[in-house]
Structure 1
Amino acid sequence: MPFTPSRLSLAVLLAFSGAALAQEATTLDSVVVTAPRMEEPLKVVTDPKAPRQPLPAHDGADFLKAIPGFSVIRKGGTDGDPVLRGFSGSRLGILLDGQEIYGGCGGRMDPPTAYVYPDSYDRVTVLKGPQSVLYGAGQSAGVVLFEKDIKRFREPGVKGSGSLTVGSFGRNDQAADVRAGNGQYYVQAGATRADANDYKDGNGKTIHSRYTRWSTNAAIGFTPDDNTRLELSLARSDGEAAYADRTMDGSKFARENIALKFEKRKLSALVDKVEALAYYNYVDHVMDNYSLRTKPAGASYMVSNPDRKTTGARASVTLNAGEMTKVTLGMDTKEDTHRFRSGMSMMSGGLAEASTWNKAWAEDMVFQQRGLFGEATHHLNQDNRVIGGLRVDWHEVQDKRATSTTRNATDKETLSSGFLRYESDFIPGAGTWYAGLGHSERTADFWERGKGNPLAPASSGFLSSAPEKTTQLDVGANYRQGPWSSGLSGFYSKVKDYLLVRWDNGGNPAVTRNVDATVYGGEADLAYQFTQTWKGYGALAYVHGTNDTDGKPLAQQPPLELRMGVNYDNRTWSFGALARMVASQDRYDVGSGNIVTNGKDLGRTGGFTVFSVNAGYRPSKSTLLTAGIDNLFDKAYAEHLSKSGATIPGYLAFSPNTRINEPGRTLWLKAQIALD
């Protein structure tokens, strides 16, 4: 398991090391983040640049799985689908600097988080449940905000950061970010690269899972004063990834993005803030069965090329409606077009590619959404407040598929969402308890509409699915005083017309069904600072889902999970140990599941425990070195939400219901530099 950094890795590290010697540096605060806790009601904020254990893949889903309440639908090394409190797919909003993003693959090879490079962002915020209306329509599970935080330069200067990660199975990541400016203008540029070979599971079996990804981003901004910012940003990324769960791999994950953002604060006693955003996002995805694997004997060459274009805009104003009340009003809109072309049953890869590139794009579906929203916070007194919001969305979806039985059909829906939450501080400055009731309505997405009609599986289900309506109660409390800190959150959700995919359908095509469901559970965390240097912590997450219509468990629900650990940190040296304990899952609905291709329950899974250790050294305020061993005892295990493996020449042959095992013992080392 050699650690072999590339030339680019060394260049990044040496460049920032030299800069650090010349300038006063920013202190790197966190050493290893294992389970970010909820500091505010239903809100988790964490630093994506901080080293983590277990070491995440380069993508957004693996980053999120360290946060209590999150799971991942795994399919090998990368590009899993995130699940929050048992809710997956379009129920969870993913926003990149305020912009909604969607994948192109009809089988969810590229969920939105596949285009997220966590090291490119300064902050990740998770809002749990239907307890906000500010960030889009239909996000019943919650929303994840990947955000950059570029502050105005008071005087001319340069800031930068860089990191290098190397590890087992050829893991080799680099990231760099540079920002320069003065009181009037700033420029920012960043880049990431991530590379890994196939990993081996705890049994020493090689899993088809290698990937290479890169991203670049840049921005230029105008900041004439502390309260004004105008920014133009651009981003490009691409890569390739091998998958253990299917007959094709991803040979292209190209994304192009441009956005214009405006923000003005403190305009008057009434107008606290005005914001506006317009963006263009384009995803071009290619799959094939030969470039990253040996094509099975007798099989033809195949290329599939979906793309997706999303344009959107948002504007809002925040008003001081009184000494105790703040109101945000706004509107958002987006248009989302999915297209497709392919070259199938070809005698060579070249012919498959030529057949694909020579075809004109064919539109599949076109989505349009317009929304109005308002959210207010009213302080009853110093310790008590009420937060509430309402939004209305107008949706229009067109079926453009040439072979669809609903070709040229249009579906129009007017849907509403809202919430009301009460928060009360107790032991001033130490704790808050809360209770909130939220409602969210969601139209069927591209993947759900693309399945068959449950009453006639061979026919299109484009018009057969009713909107999903979620009503959820959220309660909980946070507490921090002295050496103790803790958080407890629980939810009880009734879902009318839950959109459930039935993959095993008696030999018929998969269908999307509406069922009624009940889902409840929650998260708890507890930490105790034994001394100035020693700290212990634990985090628990639980979900219980029932398909009320069929009187059986709701499919694709994660099992009970407990994380416990201890850390030592004297601000120069640090050490830590983590135990992740996952219970068996006896509640399942074989053949039913989510929008990931064949993302279905396979049956019972046994529990497992995985141990990991880490250490860190901070030679200066600006430099941090961390190392770790994940899965210390080389445990062979698979997640309950892991998909079944495919038979790939040269790799372990999977039976139809055998889940893909996770990586075995993994060693890693990360070096970071930050400077002002």
Structure 2
Amino acid sequence: MVSRIACAVFIALSGNVVWAEEPEDSADVIVVRAERVGEDLHLAEADPVSADVASWLKSVPGANVNRNGPVTGIAQYRGMFGDRISKSIGGRTIIGAGPNAMDAPLSYAVPVSIEAMTVYRGIAPVTAGIDTIGGAVDVQRQQAAVSDSFMVDGSLISHYASNNDAEHYAGDINFGLKDFGAYLYGSQQSAKNYEDAQGNEVVTSAYERELFGADMAYDFGAHRVGLSWNQVNTKHSGTLALPMDINFIDSDDWSLYGSHQLDGAELEWRFGVMENEHGMDNFSQRLNPMPEMHRYTFAGGSSRDYHLVYRVGDWSLGVDGVLAEHDADITNPNNPMFVVSNFNQVQDDRHSAFVQWSQSFNAIEHTIGARVKYNQADAGEVYSSMAMMMPAVQGLQNDFNRADKSVNELTYDVTYHGTYALSDSFSWNYSAAVKQKAASYQQRYLWVPMQATGGLADGKTYVGDINLDPETAYQLEAGFNYQQGGFSASPRVFYYDIADYIEANPSADPRVVMAAQMMGDLAPLQFSNVDATLWGLDANWQYQFASDWYLAGNISYVRGERDDIDDNLYRIAPLNTRFTWGYDNGVWSSRFDAMIYASQNRASNINEEQRTPGYMIWNWYADYCFNSGVLIKAGIENIFDKEYREHLGGVNRARGSDIAVGERLPGLGQNLYVGVEYRF
């Protein structure tokens, strides 16, 4: 029989699980990474079936995902989502090409190449990213491993899910020789439209994409220098909660990096380049019988980023930034005269510097950090062929082109994290912060009513405001960690008071109203500064029996309210909890998950958001590790074929489906899953 240790090593390189780790400072982190048997206790399992790693966030207390399509998951944490959450992959800030976040940052990661996904619990430290007002997620990619002698290892992966005939094939390989290493990976994913529990086909939920990458590294003494390349090729893939679907996404990113162990200090640096092209349309994957209403959008994005951090003693000092450019043009393939310059030569640059200090005094640990950010934004002139026929559009176009679109803002973050250990089994955690974030380019430069809103998916048309003020969040959090015997728990309560929160208000411009009405929206919105409050609690817990059985779970609740009017914030996850009962002996494991969501009746009236009922679904997963290096996986999602609708899943925007346009999108019906993974 294969030993528990040998199987743990294999599973460590093939599975995914959420872990709590002891951080370097007093800021808490939760890590979604490869399974490791015998190192720590399970907190919650990651989703092994989803094509989008954003779904892994559902197993983290306080986190969730706004789902606009099968490969378009937008991270949510404690009620905030999108650009408010810092998301880095391989140490780099990922800038997508699509103005509606069809290529959301986490879609640029694929499980086979991921070493770990770190979610900073609660208030993120200043070292976690440039804009962390809503939290931070860091995906660490696999890097090349070196060896004293010639070494080759790798894996082959094949997964299949029955509901939508989803197939996933992947592999990676690492070569190491003395001080040099090379790592290569590839992944191919595809699926047909899925069916709900009633057997209804959900049109434009199919997807197809390929991801490839390589990393080369050279170690010399206490130093490492490396070069990495990653490519994403997404083909026809549905985004059924949005007005268009993905026609293609082509992305290449390169980065040069290094790390140096100096005398009592450490230096890390990275420079990156990313080029994206993205096409989308409303007719090739969904029913659109009116050729005059066919629309095709071509979007391009490019970015340059840099990161440098120096650590010495209790101090971390660094500079980082990202310089991004965006363009998006809308055409009609049946009418060559139709064109709308949605975004033209948009510049969105963010430069920053930070310092962080950590110190321990007996049972007390403190971490204090500060970050200053210089934000630059600008845009070129725009054009619409509709201006010749619609005076309202012509007026908006002329006003935008005459306006001073250049913006220069200075923002800052200040954070404090503390831990007070009363005993070996109990410690208090408390933190506070003041954080700012400048507006996104969509919020500033959306000049004519459109739904290119960074993935809001509310079906409303918006216009921007060049002169939006930065958001300022005053954040407080407190909780404790308790561990005694096989039981541990980690609850947190939080309160965020946010001034100048960027939300929607009805547009008061009659030209906007007139242009929107011509497009079918009787009540267009404008991005505006308001005041808002977010508060709630989240917790995770676990109990490890003396045997190989365990119980684990988490619970999350957040309330989001506008302070200027009596309304709720848009797209807030309802109260939810996850309960896991499992067995793991290092050779084989099995677990049942119960996912329980309450109804969400506190919806946004301004966004005309629909309420959703509560539900509970059960899932089962198992795997067995053979001593030949083969891991067999199997499972059933939604065991009892329960009909349900996720509040964060949005509503259907695609004609030609068994689901009516405007109806809440149903969840996946019963889904059988099998997988085989081989490690050599």
Report what 1:627 is aligned to. 634
Match of 1:160 among 154, 176, 183: 154
Report if aligned partners of 1:161, 1:178 keep a CA contact under 8 Å in 2. Answer: yes
Report what 1:369 is aligned to. 350
Separation of aligned partners in 1, 2:559 and 2:524: 28
Report what 1:43 is aligned to. 29
Superposition deviation, residue 237 in structure 1: 1.1
Separation of aligned partners in 2, 1:647 and 1:413: 40
Instruction: Give CA deviations for 1:91-139 in whole Å, capped at 9, x if unaligned.
Output: 1111011111122222222222222223321111111344311243221
Separation of aligned partners in 2, 1:345 and 1:481: 66
TM-score after normalising by structure 2? 0.86
Separation of aligned partners in 2, 1:281 and 1:30: 28
> Structure 2 counterpart of 1:531, which letter?
A
Report what 2:137 is aligned to. 144
> Structure 1 counterpart of 2:187, which letter?
T
Report if aligned partners of 2:18, 2:30 keep a CA contact under 8 Å in 1. Answer: no
Report what 2:405 is aligned to. 409
Match of 1:567 among 579, 582, 586: 582
Report what 2:72 is aligned to. 79
Match of 1:487 among 470, 485, 490: 490
Is 1:385 paired with 2:365?
Answer: yes
Instruction: Give CA deviations for 1:61-114 in whole Å, capped at 9, x if unaligned.
Output: 223223222222223433122211110111111101111112222222222222
> Structure 1 counterpart of 2:180, which letter?
Y
In structure 2, the CA distance between the partners of 1:459 and 1:69, relative to structure 1 (3 Å rule), is closer
Superposition deviation, residue 365 in structure 1: 1.3
3-state SS of the aligned residue for 1:28? helix
Report what 1:317 is aligned to. 310
> Structure 1 counterpart of 2:219, which letter?
T
Measured on the aligned residues, the alpha-carbon RMSD in Å equals: 2.9
User: Which stretch has the larger CA shift, 48-57 or 241-250?
Assistant: 48-57
Report what 1:95 is aligned to. 88
In structure 2, the CA distance between the partners of 1:440 and 1:547, relative to structure 1 (3 Å rule), is same
> Structure 2 counterpart of 1:501, which letter?
A
Separation of aligned partners in 2, 1:260 and 1:32: 28
Match of 2:550 among 530, 535, 541: 535
Superposition deviation, residue 163 in structure 1: 1.8
In structure 2, the CA distance between the partners of 1:312 and 1:29, relative to structure 1 (3 Å rule), is closer
Report what 1:261 is aligned to. 257
Report if aligned partners of 1:312, 1:334 keep a CA contact under 8 Å in 2. Answer: yes
Separation of aligned partners in 2, 1:511 and 1:360: 19
Superposition deviation, residue 416 in structure 1: 0.7
Report what 1:7 is aligned to. none
Separation of aligned partners in 2, 1:569 and 1:49: 11
3-state SS of the aligned residue for 1:75? strand
Superposition deviation, residue 29 in structure 1: 4.6
In structure 2, the CA distance between the partners of 1:219 and 1:641, relative to structure 1 (3 Å rule), is same
Superposition deviation, residue 30 in structure 1: 9.2
Superposition deviation, residue 60 in structure 1: 3.0
Q: How does 1:112-261 map to 2 (within 5 A)?
A: 112-150=105-143, 151-168=145-162, 169-208=164-203, 209-225=205-221, 227-240=222-235, 241-261=237-257
Superposition deviation, residue 640 in structure 1: 1.1
Separation of aligned partners in 1, 2:627 and 2:348: 52
Instruction: Give CA deviations for 1:169-226 in whole Å, capped at 9, x if unaligned.
Output: 111112211111123111111111111110001111111200011111111111012x
In structure 2, the CA distance between the partners of 1:431 and 1:222, relative to structure 1 (3 Å rule), is farther
Match of 1:287 among 252, 258, 280: 280
Segments of structure 2 that go 5 or more residues without pairing to the other structure are: 1-5, 37-43, 384-396, 450-459, 514-521
Superposition deviation, residue 342 in structure 1: 3.6
Q: How does 1:641-656 map to 2 (within 5 A)?
A: 641-649=648-656, 651-656=657-662
Separation of aligned partners in 2, 1:568 and 1:103: 40
Separation of aligned partners in 1, 2:121 and 2:297: 35
In structure 2, the CA distance between the partners of 1:451 and 1:522, relative to structure 1 (3 Å rule), is farther
Instruction: Give CA deviations for 1:359-387 in whole Å, capped at 9, x if unaligned.
Output: 99973410122211101111223x32110
Match of 2:598 among 555, 562, 583: 583
3-state SS of the aligned residue for 2:72? coil
Report what 2:563 is aligned to. 548
Separation of aligned partners in 2, 1:31 and 1:530: 25
Report what 1:400 is aligned to. 380
3-state SS of the aligned residue for 2:571? coil
Report if aligned partners of 1:183, 1:224 keep a CA contact under 8 Å in 2. Answer: no
In structure 2, the CA distance between the partners of 1:633 and 1:35, relative to structure 1 (3 Å rule), is farther
Superposition deviation, residue 233 in structure 1: 0.7
Is 1:334 paired with 2:334?
Answer: no
> Structure 2 counterpart of 1:669, which letter?
V
Segments of structure 1 that go 5 or more residues without pairing to the other structure are: 1-22, 321-325, 593-600
User: Which stretch has the larger CA shift, 639-648 or 488-497?
Assistant: 639-648
Superposition deviation, residue 33 in structure 1: 5.7
The share of aligned pairs that are identical, in percent, is: 23
In structure 2, the CA distance between the partners of 1:423 and 1:155, relative to structure 1 (3 Å rule), is farther
Match of 1:436 among 427, 431, 444: 431
Q: How does 1:441-480 map to 2 (within 5 A)?
A: 441-451=436-446, 461-480=464-483
Report if aligned partners of 1:27, 1:621 keep a CA contact under 8 Å in 2. Answer: no
> Structure 2 counterpart of 1:631, which letter?
N
User: Which stretch has the larger CA shift, 293-302 or 613-622?
Assistant: 293-302
3-state SS of the aligned residue for 1:200? coil
Match of 2:421 among 405, 418, 425: 425
Superposition deviation, residue 259 in structure 1: 0.2
Report what 1:664 is aligned to. 669
3-state SS of the aligned residue for 1:439? strand
